[in-house]
Amino acid sequence: MFLAINFTMRELLLEIFNRLYKKFGEQHWWPADTKDEVVIGAVLTQNTAWNNVEKAIANLKKAGVLSLSDIARVNEELLKELIKPAGFFNQKALYLKNVAYFIKNHGGFPHLSKKSTHELRKMLLSVKGVGKETADSILLYAFERPVFVVDAYTKRVVSRHKLSEDLTYDNIQKLFMENLPLDVNLFNEYHALIVKLAKEYCKKKPLCKGCPLEGL
């Protein structure tokens, strides 16, 4: 079915959100109990599926290493061992330590929370191992800043629905942030719903039949 409706980009993005929300409901993201866990998960999830991250987090929890101060002090070899299920463990152990020291050396969350979103993003991006997606995940889910997180799933949906020809991170982020209200809850839920959509329907081989975005 093809809907012969002319949406503005804002209406289209809101229509997508409404359809996803209606189908999947609230996603309760980020799947973590503390801000520290959000940061740890945001690093561990680089280039791997979330179920691998869950195994690494379970190991960290069991070993009592699930805060950033624990990460900063723990022996690096032990850290590598604990996060092995998340892959790239040599790199990620280093990245986790970098981000843990960064937050610790800048007075922790209370102090960093006083920074503007722009400044904070710039600071996070200066940490080795923190790329745009990781920085934005930390900004949105740990610092509760209205920043849209773009991941491979977002690119896939944007591309398949021809929302933009330019599939660079910055352009996709701009697409959402310039056309939607800058709202933490909206961005939180939207990103989580796109992940759900990609896992259930918009897989490598898309299952368009019955997908909430079918015909859009």
Shortest gap between Cβ of 190 and ligand SF4 (angstroms)? Answer: 14
Shortest gap between Cβ of 195 and ligand SF4 (angstroms)? Answer: 12
Q: What whole-number distance in Å separates Cα of residue 81 and Cα of residue 66?
A: 14
181 φ, ψ (degrees, to nearest 5): -65, 140
Q: Locate tokens 């993005």: which residue? A: 13
Would you state the structure tokens that stand for residue 165, as one six-digit string? 């020809």
Residues in the site for ligand SF4, rule: CB under 6 A? Answer: 157, 160-161, 197, 201-202, 206-208, 211, 213-214
Question: Residue 119 in contact with residue 133, Cβ under 8 Å?
Answer: no
Residue closer to ligand SF4 (CB basis): 10 or 160 = 160
| DSSP per-residue letters across 49-103 | -HHHHHHHHHHHHHTT--SHHHHHHS-HHHHHHHHGGGS-HHHHHHHHHHHHHHH
Residue closer to ligand SF4 (CB basis): 23 or 115 = 23
Shortest gap between Cβ of 161 and ligand SF4 (angstroms)? Answer: 6
Question: Residue 172 in contact with residue 130, Cβ under 8 Å?
Answer: no
Helical residues (DSSP H) of 106-210, grouped into ranges: 108-112, 117-125, 132-141, 152-160, 169-179, 184-200
Shortest gap between Cβ of 104 and ligand SF4 (angstroms)? Answer: 41
Residue closer to ligand SF4 (CB basis): 28 or 205 = 205
Residue closer to ligand SF4 (CB basis): 141 or 190 = 190
Residue closer to ligand SF4 (CB basis): 87 or 206 = 206
Would you state the structure tokens that stand for residue 202, as one six-digit string? 């918009």
Residue closer to ligand SF4 (CB basis): 58 or 207 = 207
Shortest gap between Cβ of 7 and ligand SF4 (angstroms)? Answer: 15
Question: Residue 206 in contact with residue 199, Cβ under 8 Å?
Answer: no
Shortest gap between Cβ of 180 and ligand SF4 (angstroms)? Answer: 18
